[in-house]
Each structure stands twice: as structure tokens, then as C-alpha cells.
Structure 1
Amino acid sequence: MEPLEIPVETITSEVIEKCTTPLSDDHDEKYGVPSLEELGFDTDGLPSAVWPGGETEALTRLERHLERKAWVANFERPRMNANSLLASPTGLSPYLRFGCLSCRLFYFKLTDLYKKVKKNSSPPLSLYGQLLWREFFYTAATNNPRFDKMEGNPICVQIPWDKNPEALAKWAEGRTGFPWIDAIMTQLRQEGWIHHLARHAVACFLTRGDLWISWEEGMKVSVLPANVAWLYFEELYTFFYTFYIYHQVIHEIDA
């Protein structure tokens, strides 16, 4: 594999000020982003956004992340607790997902900081673990046109899933009767994000854990591109066979 190219410099306000583009008087009317009200959504009582969008927010969060030099220098996998399931002010995954943050920029920033703190030592592979998983599954999807389908997928186990629209709807709407699962699906619907262990839990519940419904149906509700959750829990990749069960009694937050 060839070395990664260094990402281009981030566009600054100074650069933008030097650019001029003529706009028509009706530009915003034709091309502006419509509000939620204009799209027909009821916004009464709607809480503020948990994940403000855009590159500026993404870069601000990245800088906050990199301020924790001791964490970068002595990296170890974070220990889970109840608060881990809540959105973090330094969380980056939605920004990587929507292209607000360049994965290459993240990689090089981490590498540069680690070498400065550790005096030119090479960073451990574990520092990039989650980022590498993400890119690996994007790569797998690129080389497999049937990646998001079971039938005709050469690397997918063919399983006779159940057809149960009622159970699927209850799962998607957080009405299964299992508090742990319902809380996760409610968070996903309200915030658009859930912790990766929560993704594992709801994917397992839908597929081979409880409902025996196809992961393809789950992807219609929550598409997890380049994410291992659906693949683990319906055993798409047989060589990654793992049988994780997350115990809701141990991990659920006290009411």
C-alpha cells in the first residue's frame, strides 16, 4: 500500500474573502437550504441540535481532541461506563461520516502530535483502530457491488430470515418492550447518533439475537456505512466470527 498523501490545507476565512462570486437576487430562494418548517416538520418543543453540522464545528472538535496530549501519548482503548452512551462534545464520528472532517487530516494530525510528544516514535496501530475499521469496510464495499445485499453476495452467509413487519416496526420505533433496545432506538431517532456498542446491541437484537429479521431491513432504518455492526451480527464475514452479548442490566443507566 502506498503512503497516504498529505491532505490539502483547510480553507480559511482569509482565503474566502479573496473570492467573489456574482449572485442573483433570487439565489437564496432558488438554492438556499430550506428550514424544517418549510419542509413540513413540526418544530414545537424541538431540542437544540446535539451535533451542530459543518466543517468549522468538525475542526473545532478535532482541536479539542488533540489538546489531550497525554491521552494521545498513552493511548488505550476507552473504558465503557453509562455516560459513554451519551453524545460527547469532542465526538467526531458524525463529522467523518458526512465528510465534514477529512479522515486523512485526522490521521496526520494524530500522527504528528504523537511523534512530537513521544519524540518521533511511531504511533501504535491501536491509535488508529476505529478509523482503520471504517476505511476497511468502505474498501470492502467498493470492491463488492452486492455489499449491501445478501443474495448474490459472495462473502455473505445466506440465511432464511423471518418476515415480520410488525416486529420490525416496533424495533424501528423503540417499542419492543426491552428498555435497553428501545432507549437506543429512541436516541437514534432523536439525535441521529448512537454509540458503537449500542449499534451492536440493536443490530444483534434485530438479527440473530432475538427477532431473526434480515440486516437488510435494519439498514433501511439505520444505514451504517463502513460499520461492522450489521456484519458482525448476521455473520456476513465468517472470518470475523464473534459472539458478543451486551448485558443491559449491567450497563443500563439508572432512572
Structure 2
Amino acid sequence: YDSEPFGKERDAAIKKLACEAGVEVTVRISHTLYDLDKIIELNGGQSPLTYKRFQTLISRMDAVEVPAESITGDIMGKCRTPLSEDHDDKFGVPSLEELGFDTEGLSSAVWPGGETEALTRLERHLERKAWVANFERPRMNANSLLASPTGLSPYLRFGCLSCRLFYFKLTDLYRKVKKNSSPPLSLYGQLLWREFFYTAATNNPCFDKMESNPICVQIPWDRNPEALAKWAEGRTGFPWIDAIMTQLRQEGWIHHLARHAVACFLTRGDLWIGWEEGMKVFEELLLDADWSVNAGSWMWLSCSSFFQQFFHCY
């Protein structure tokens, strides 16, 4: 089930075609922890616009559904599709060179794709001893700004990692360390903020725009293509901002505090350029740029929606 407006429109068209062809369509909720429509129904038909209200609503929801068991060879038995010897030649994923890209000078991939990599990273994430001991936020240091081998956000974004699997792995680990005590909602912060923005966006096709967006403050932002280009290309002259944007272009990822810094700089902090422009750059360059989360984060950080302290800049 795709909860985002364009996904729902696409899926409705597919279901219509399937119905006309006599094909039964089964829809499962798997990209989010909860049924977003039920959250909205519980809130009187409106999406909750504060994280506190969102937490109150989900605390009254049914428990998150346990993820399905991993598929093994024993489960599949003899249910196998015969493959021809030239299968990989016909259906393999082409390399960048085969697609015509110049790869000279490219560094190795910081974020290898796939479910196997995602599950390996999940185990590393859960094994971080200092974090596991107290379940506290890790302290910031210089290395925190670098891409981590325990990073998971691109894998959640592309469905390489099940959000429900992540949720229950966290739950099991907490209970093991804390001797079966019930985990607090704060344990699932990364997942729940994602869920919050998904809920806010699901019935709002203008969620990624300022105009015609019922939850967005209409701010007379400046239009300055030259300043926007310098920001996007890491040429502002501010070393901290330029380093962040350079890393974004090279690696497709930046730390969440770095995202806060460049978003604040572009919008309310320095350049006074509309958040939509920054969102488009992130949409192009970030590997983990969910439509809902990306737009929601930019509205939040620019003080255009949700709750944010205007003078709190990174």
C-alpha cells in the first residue's frame, strides 16, 4: 500500500484495470507501521499536525503487526523458476558504464543497495554497545557527520529494510537489555517521525507546495537563482554549509543535523529562499528522500508548518 497521493492515484488506476480483467487485487500495509487512514479517523478525520498529538493517537491504536517470517529454501520447497544460461545477460542490472555514464574518478559506493546489505547494517546498528547499554541518543562528534556502516535511512526509503522488522528488532533488544520492561515510544523516534510525516501527507496532494497547501504558512520568500545555485553547489563561502552540500553531492547522504543547518541557512536563517527550492535539491540528491518526509521536514525547518522555534538555528 502506497500512502502518498500520487501512489494512491496510480494504484487506483491499476486496480481498476485489474478488476476489468477479472483479476483480484490484495492490498497490504507494509511500508508504514500503522494504517494511516485509521490514525486520521481517530483524529476526527484530520491528519495530526503535532508530533505530540500523533504519539497520543498511536498509543490508542492496535499493536504494530508482527512482520512475516523470512522466506527460506525450506518454505519455497520445489517452487522454483527454471533459469536459462543467458538469464543474467538478458535480465541482469546494467552497469553505469553500460548505461553510458563516465565513472572515472568515482569513489566506491558509500551505500551499497539491497536487502542483504540492509539486514547486515541492521545487525550492526543493534550491536552498538554504548547505545544498547542505555538506549540514549549518541553524543555528537566529528565522525557522526560521516556516512555510517550502521545507517539505515536509504534502506527504509526503498523498502530494502522492513520498518516493522526494524520496530520489532528494537523492541526485542530493549526488553532483553532492560529485563522485559515495556519500551517507551521515544525508542522508535526515527520510525515514528517518518510515520508522522506520512500521515500528514497522505490526503494532501499539495503537501510538497506552498500554494494551495492548507497546512503551510504563505511566506513571501525571495527569488534569487544565483544565491540558490551557490547554495546547491556548495559555493556560498560559508565553509560549514559548503562542506555539507559537497558531501551531499558526493555521497547522497548527510547527517540530520547537517540537513537542519543547510535548510535553515537557505530559508529563514540567511538567504530567505523558499523551502520548495531546497526540497527539490534534496529530492534530486538524497538517497533517502521520501516525498512525504522530505517535504514535511522542509516545511518544519523553515517554520512554514508544524511546530518550530523561529530563532532556533543550527
Measure, in 2, the Cα distance between the counterparts of 1:109 and 1:172.
37
Which SS does the other structure have where 1:239 is aligned?
coil
Spell out the pairing of 1:28-39 with structure 2 (5 A cutoff): 28=88, 31-39=91-99
Summarize the Cα distance change of 1:70–1:123 in structure 2 as closer, same or farther, 3 Å threshold: farther
- Using CA pairs under 8 Å that are at least 6 residues apart, name the structure with larger relative contact order, 1 or 2: 2
Letter in structure 2 aligned against 1:237: S
Measure, in 1, the Cα distance between the counterparts of 2:310 and 2:62.
31
- Normalising by structure 2, what TM-score? 0.72
Which residue of structure 1 aligns with residue 224 of structure 2?
164
Structure 1 residue 100: deviation in Å? Answer: 0.9
Asked if structure 1 preserves the Cα contact closer than 8 Å seen for 2:124 and 2:150, the reply is yes
Summarize the Cα distance change of 1:29–1:74 in structure 2 as closer, same or farther, 3 Å threshold: same
Q: Which runs of no fewer than 5 residues in structure 1 stay unpaired?
A: 247-255
Letter in structure 1 aligned against 2:252: G
Structure 1 residue 158: deviation in Å? Answer: 0.3
Which SS does the other structure have where 1:222 is aligned?
helix
Structure 1 residue 202: deviation in Å? Answer: 0.9
Asked if residue 119 in structure 1 is aligned to residue 179 in structure 2, the reply is yes
Summarize the Cα distance change of 1:16–1:52 in structure 2 as closer, same or farther, 3 Å threshold: farther
Structure 1 residue 23: deviation in Å? Answer: 4.6
Asked if structure 2 preserves the Cα contact closer than 8 Å seen for 1:107 and 1:128, the reply is yes
Structure 1 residue 18: deviation in Å? Answer: 4.3
- Normalising by structure 1, what TM-score? 0.87
Which residue of structure 2 aligns with residue 212 of structure 1?
272
Which residue of structure 1 aligns with residue 104 of structure 2?
44
Identity of aligned residues (%): 83
Spell out the pairing of 1:58-97 with structure 2 (5 A cutoff): 58-68=118-128, 71-97=131-157
Which residue of structure 2 aligns with residue 190 of structure 1?
250
Asked if residue 236 in structure 1 is aligned to residue 304 in structure 2, the reply is yes
Q: How many residues align?
A: 246
Which SS does the other structure have where 1:182 is aligned?
helix
Measure, in 2, the Cα distance between the counterparts of 1:161 and 1:82.
33
Letter in structure 2 aligned against 1:123: P
Structure 1 residue 33: deviation in Å? Answer: 2.2
Higher mean displacement: 32-41 or 7-16: 7-16
Letter in structure 2 aligned against 1:195: H
Q: 1:150-195 CA deviation, whole Å, 9 max, x = no partner?
A: 1111110001112222221111111111111111111111111100
